[in-house]
Structures are given as structure tokens and as C-alpha cells.
Structure 1
Amino acid sequence: MAKLIEHLIKLTDHRDRDLLELTLAKALIDLLPIDRVVIARVLSEEGSKRWLEVATMDARGGGKVVDPLRVEFQELSPIEELKDRFNCVRERQRVVVAWAGEEGPRITYIPLFLDSRNDDDGVIEIHSGTILTGEQLQAIGELHRVFLNMYNLLAYSDRDPLTGLLNRKSLDDTFYRAVLEELDEGQSTHLKLLEAAVTPGQERRHRVPPNYWLGTVTVDDFGKIGDQHGHLIAEEVLLLVARIMNNTFRTYDRIYRFGGEQFAVLMHCPDETLVLAAFERFRVNMEKFNFPQVGRVTACGGFTRISPDDSPSAALERAERAVDFAQNHGKNKVFSHIDLVRKGCFGDAPRVGAVDVF
């Protein structure tokens, strides 16, 4: 009982939604006589859906966690390719596969999310030596319900109420969790991240891998839209901007709204050219879109590479300087802060950014 309470405390002690799957997998391995747990989520990109195994735990030791920001989507398994997982998600029912006789080892698939209205999809995949007993399934169900309650609570607190995008508060957790991926390569990295996930209050190291980028977006002349068309139409524009961002950037890029007409994107990408191309696609998609009752609406974007010992506020300040440069040079443009520095476009000392960082 003491061990169960310990894991329940860990499940409810997080402020970060993305660590809940890992904590759930750890609890199942510790509390039940099972061999392996895999928690897989469904990622979507341009109409294609694939499996991402976000957390894996083995009873004999070892584990793996995957940062969705760092995955190569095309290397993931298509959702239909793993038929038992697919059936579990499609029917939202438990699926049991006995692969070596009725009394032998089996895999039990449980839908990670039970509400068909939820856009999130995933499975809990449990490998066991024999069939799970009713008591064991009940224990799994109770832990699962705690997970879902915490997931929904954190989802509510992490989201902008108007657009449903992530809010400013949630950026810090994602920003600093990405830092841990730099500590080591291979399995040791995953185990250290696991330790951080299940040990509340562990000190974070503020070092960030070189391929993370943070960009901000500001809708051009948004004040005029509100003045000419009213508050409700201005809100509708923001909702459509959020939709365009969701349709343009990858599903595992993190998209934020900070309030007003200011948005942000956190992504993992190998080089500056690809990041610029992603923001340019968004800019063009904005320019081509016909906003009802408003017509043409454009936006400016700016982005920066996240550097070692960086902080969210420092990175945001650099990205905002690039946005300001775009707005002061014709609007409807995207600039890299690094490129502007290389070209000598900033001759003055950095100022405090316009983004509210508190």
C-alpha cells in the first residue's frame, strides 16, 4: 500500500503534462508483475498519422523516453501498420493478444484516452507472462484514472482559453525539460530524464541543445482590425491564425499564444534554413488566407537559436527583436535573429522585449 501511495503522489506531483506517461509506466512496472510497458501516442502531420513511443519501461531494468520535438516523423510507424494498437485506438476498447498459446505470454492494449471527443490518441501496451487477473486490471484502471485526471487538469492550466494553444506558463517547463536531453547520449540520457521525471523538485540544468529554436509571431496591424471590425471579429482572426499555425507547423512543434496578437513556436530542427522555411510557409499561408469580413491579414515572424545557459525570456527577447525589425521594414516578413546580427542590423544595445514574460 505504501508503494502504491508513493506512485500516486508522483503521478499527481507534476506540473508538466509530458512527463505523466513516463510516471505512469514507472508505476505500472513497479506495482505489477509485468515484463514491459510501452506508452505510445499518435502523431499527425499533413493528414498522415504515425506512432510515437513516448515512454518504455522494462521490469529487468532500463527505460526509454522520447522528446516529441526531436523525432523524425517519417521514420515512425504508420498507425495502420501496427494493427492491434490501431484497433485499440479505433474502438477505444481493451485488446488482448495471446501470441504463444492461451496460457502463455500476451500483450494487453488499453486506450490511453477514453473520450472519443478528445483529439489525443494513444495506447498503454502491457507485456505480461500470463493473462492479467481481474485484480491486476483493476489496479491498472485506477492508476489510469489518476493519470487521466491529472492530464486533463494540466491540459486546462497549460492552454490559452481562446485558441487552445499552449500558454506562456507552459513554455518554461518544455524549455527546461529539453535541456536534459543534452546531458548524455543513448540509454543513460533516458534514465537520467526518467530520474528527473519521478523525483519532484530535482534541480534543472540550464543547458540547451544547439538545435532548438524559439520563434515569435505577431499579427500585423492587429489594433486596426479591432478598431474597424470590433472585438468579436478580432478574436475570430486570432482563432484562424491559431488554426493556420496548427496546419503549418509540425504536430510535435510546440505552439503558444502569449496574449493579444503574439504567438510563439518552439521546435527542434537541424539548421537555420529549415526553420526559416517553416516560418515562411506560415507567412505565405497567412497571406493567402481570406479572413471572413476582414480579408487579407499578414504577420511578421522572428526566430532565434536557443543557446547554452539560455532562458525563455532571453530567447524571447531576441526573437522579438527580429519581429520588430520585420515590422519596421515593411511587415509581412520573417527574419532570423542570428542572420540579422551577422548582417550588422542591430547597432544598439538589446532592449527589454515587448513580450510579457511573467
Structure 2
Amino acid sequence: MAAAFVWLTGTSATPAVPPANPVLHETGIASPPSPTDAPIALLVDLSSGQTLFSRDPDRRFVPASITKVMTVFVAFEMIDSGKIDPGQTVMMSSDAYKHWHAVGSTMFLKEHQRVTVDQLLHGITTVSANDGSVVLAEGLAGSTEKWVAMMNAAARRIGMKDSHYGRPNGWMDDGQTFVTAHDLVTLGAALILDHPDLYRRYFGHRRLRFNGFEQVNHDPITGVVPGADGIKTGFTNQAGYGFLGSAERDGRRLIMVVAGSPTGRARNEAARSLIEWGFEAFGSQPLFAKGSVVGEAAVQDGDSRHVALVAPQAISAAMPQGTRPDIKLSIRYEGPLRAPIRAGEPVAELVIEAAGMPTSRVPLTARDDVAQANLLDRLTNGIAGIL
């Protein structure tokens, strides 16, 4: 049975509609991109989960090199779980060299060259290395087929409902690889929120020097838009030009997708326009600091009858500049929760409803471990329930 608790309502009734003429940033950009420049576009405020702009977000498209974000995410999962170490080395096999040496974006890996996971991740995130992606997949999973299976399993686990991967690097594969903008935002959010230290280590670099070559990152917003730090471009003749990107200002992070752009220039301008507009057209009202207690949930068969729910990240509510809409907050979960529960486990959602804005949901996690109840706990809980 779903439980909900509502405890905050604002007093202003100003309609939450974006101003027709938002304040111009110093770059002069003040509006979302046109459908011609970005047939697919999505902008989400990660601090609130609110969608700020949406155009065809559930339309499937070929992500090209944006595929590599999932390859990096799987590697991050393995690093943070202790299964691999960034310093361990893998080797470029003869087969990988035969098929991927200097094909498309590359690190120029040599046949039988031993390279660290750390070097490969820098190559993939900074210069979109096709060879590096394959070497990483073979070295950590034994084959690209096994790695792709891990990619698809990870996609299902984090809630990518309409995506599939066929290769670790996004090279053309007759349509086996496809995503949606909604799913890419889900992936980008998991990458940033679940692995913040690794994200900062590997994304947002402008250049890579490796194997005697110096190459630049083609990310259109990092180093150009204040606060931008990634994430990944993509292009093939089949896919057109796309980008999954993110930027953070004053503790507020936006994440965006543009896809299907006809040219690289159109893609770059669309990306910059959309994220600048997001920061300038919308303000933010802080709600909860990272780690603060938001509420509690009932627990069944646990050594405690309740567990505190905390914000795993700073939570705020986005609203159009110059407005103060009513805000209603509620906690929702399928409950009572069943023990055992691990501290840090997502167990509930904070629902944010602001007048004129789409309803959004932000995960809440358990503050403490709750073990299964023993006989004494059951007796105590039973008496407490009666009283």
C-alpha cells in the first residue's frame, strides 16, 4: 500500500510560467533551440527532478558515441564496488587492433600495448576513443559481448526503459543500439549522483596527451558555458549530431540532451542555448540540504518500527524567474517497508508539486540500517503497535 505524507504548502499563487523574455546572459543566449537545430531536446534540473524543457523525449534515436557513457558507467560501478582498480592494466589484443586501430575517434593504441584502466577512461571521456572502449570491454569482461550484456543489465537496473546497446563504443551496428532522451538523462543522473568523485576525475578535461599525440575534447559546453563539465558528444551519418551534457552553478545542476542536429555547429549552438536558457529563465528555491532528514517511513518486521528518510543530494525546487508558485511536498513509498534495509538504500520518493510546473520525484534514502526483527523485537513492536 502506498503511503504519502504532505507537510509543506506555499502561500503565493503566481502562475509558474516561464517569462516571455528571460534575462539575457552575457553570451546573448536566451531561448531554447529551434526544432530544426535540435529535433530532440530535453533539459532537467537534477536538483529537483523537474523537467524545464522537453521536445520528443521518448523518441528513439541512435546515440553514436554517447553510447560510451554507459561503458564508462559500468566501469565506474566496478571501481566503486571494488571489483577493479583504476591502476590495473589490460592489453590491446590482436583482434582489437585489427578492427579498431585508428578507426574513428582513437587513442592510437598499439597492438599488444598494455594500458591502465585509468588511461582508458581518460581516453574514452576526453577524446571518445573507439579503440579504448573495446580494449576496456575485452580487458574487464573477457569479450565485448559479455561487456555489452553488462551494459544492458545496468541500463535496466537504473531505469532506462527504452534503450538497448549493441556495442561498447556506439559504432554503427544496424540499429541494435538505440536510446531516448529520457533514458540518457537517467544515465547521466546516475553517473553524476552515484559516482561523484569518479565523475569529477574523468569528465570535463579539455585535452589528452597519450602515445605521442595531443588531442582536444569536442564537448561544446565545457570551458565555454560557466559551470559545464561534460558529458559526451556523438555523431554518425546515420545518427546525426547529438550531445548529453551537464553544468552546475551555485549548487544547482542541470542535465540536457540534444539529438538529431543536422550539423555539428547546430548541435553545439543548440546545447549552449538550451543550458544557458535553463539557468537564466529559472530560479531555484532550496528545500533540503544533502544528508538532511526529510521524514520517516514505517518498517515491517524490523528491529525498528521506523526509518529516517534523508536527501542523498541537495534538493531544491525550480521555478520561472520572478515567480513564487505554491509548492506542495509529499513522501511516497510502497509501505510499510520490509526489513532488512541498508543505510543509503533508496526506499522512498519526495514528490515536488509546484503550480504550473510538471510534478517531479526525487529519491530519498534510508539513514540507518534496519535489521530483521528477532523474537524480542517482534514482541516489543507488537506491544508498541497495540499501545
Do these two structures clear the TM 0.5 threshold for a shared fold by scoring above it? no
Looking at both structures, which has the greater relative contact order when contacts are Cα pairs under 8 Å and sequence separation is at least 6?
2
Which structure: greater strand fraction?
2
- Give the TM-score, by structure 1 length: 0.31
